[in-house]
């Protein structure tokens, strides 16, 4: 069993669950022990519900980065069937920060692409903490064009702090790779669904996020820059990240209100990591419904509606 990890604001939950763990080691044949466990379980539910009903934007950002939060690889076997991973951009190398390949969803063949952060230190280094380099975005574009060639829909899972800003990545054309993905995805003649499952950071997220339907898990975030980065630029102090998060409209409910995302997928109480099987089931049901709707749309109508959707982003005065 994996030990649960708690965020700072989850301390009351941690204390209750620690007590529950103690009681579960005691012989529960005594009636008073069973009664206390039942009372604590109810209290745990009530406290968790109260905390998660009043999360600040900064707390939601922390949940989106939770070390136990499911990543793309965790969902693959629970949401999709028969996944076959494809590697390489055919130009430089294979970027492990992005995984992609062919799979099925309810019998429908499709192309899956997603960010992958890694669980332990060794894997995080190999996957560069989920921050793709140019070859990662070129690999994803290669897979999208392959999907278009064989008339397969594309589903992407977004979960990255942002594109890797290192010297090597810049030398190999990081900004060009992202810009080309934005352009190509805008007129890709096959249905595209994108889901923000954790962090949706800057152009690193948007490079696989131009979609006919853009969804977010309830406790995920999507922003042009991280709260820490925003605070560093505006106030020269990354410690003011909490203040920045409250002003940036990074949460799913705020982004839905201003029309930048299409749908919010509810998470289990306490976040997706608390019940990955239920989260995967709900995600699978939502994807099947959305995909079946998009596949009924003609290619001309699909592209026209995507163009209209993109052109309506943002507001301006003349």
pLDDT digits (tens, 9 = 90+) for 250-269: 999 999 999 999 999 999 99
CA dihedral 313, 258, 159, 273 (to 10 degrees): -160
**Span 27-77, pLDDT tens digits:** 656 667 888 888 899 999 999 999 999 999 999 999 999 999 999 999 999
Q: Residue 315: its pLDDT value, please?
A: 72
Residues in the chain: 318
The predicted pLDDT at position 2 comes to 45
Nearest to 290 by CA among 271, 263, 310: 263
Return the structure tokens found at 77.
């076997």
Q: In the prediction, which pLDDT does 129 show?
A: 95
Under 8 Å between Cβ of 135 and 95? yes
pLDDT beneath 50, residues of the chain = 1-2
Tell me, what's the pLDDT at 279?
Answer: 98
Question: How far apart are alpha carbons 131 and 147 in whole angstroms?
Answer: 24
């Amino acid at each position: 069993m994996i030990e649960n990890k708690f965020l700072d604001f989850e301390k009351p939950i941690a204390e209750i669950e620690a007590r529950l763990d103690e009681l579960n080691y005691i012989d529960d044949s005594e009636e008073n022990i069973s009664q206390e466990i039942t009372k604590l379980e109810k209290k745990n539910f009530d406290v968790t519900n109260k905390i998660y009903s009043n999360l600040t934007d900064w707390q939601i950002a922390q949940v989106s980065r939770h070390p136990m939060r499911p990543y793309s690889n965790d969902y693959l076997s629970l949401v999709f069937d028969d996944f076959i991973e494809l590697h390489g951009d055919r130009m430089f190398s294979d970027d492990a920060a992005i995984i992609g390949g062919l799979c099925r969803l309810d019998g429908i063949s499709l192309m899956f692409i997603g960010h992958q952060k890694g669980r332990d230190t060794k894997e995080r280094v190999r996957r560069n903490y989920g921050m793709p380099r140019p070859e990662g975005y070129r690999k994803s574009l290669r897979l999208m064009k392959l999907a278009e060639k064989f008339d397969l829909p594309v589903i992407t899972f977004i979960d990255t702090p942002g594109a890797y800003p290192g010297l090597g990545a810049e030398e190999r054309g990081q900004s060009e790779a992202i810009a080309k993905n934005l352009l190509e995805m805008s007129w890709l003649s096959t249905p595209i669904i994108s889901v923000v499952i954790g962090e949706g950071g800057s152009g690193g997220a948007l490079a696989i996020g131009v979609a006919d339907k853009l969804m977010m898990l309830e406790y995920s975030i999507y922003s042009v820059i991280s709260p820490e980065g925003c605070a560093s630029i505006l106030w020269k102090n990354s410690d003011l990240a909490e203040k920045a998060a409250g002003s940036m409209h990074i949460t799913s409910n705020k982004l839905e209100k201003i029309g930048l995302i299409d749908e919010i997928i509810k998470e289990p109480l306490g976040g997706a990591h608390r019940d990955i099987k239920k989260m995967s089931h709900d995600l699978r049901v939502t994807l099947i419904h959305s995909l079946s709707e998009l596949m009924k749309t003609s290619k001309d109508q699909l592209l026209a509606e995507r163009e209209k959707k993109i052109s309506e982003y943002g507001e301006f005065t003349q």
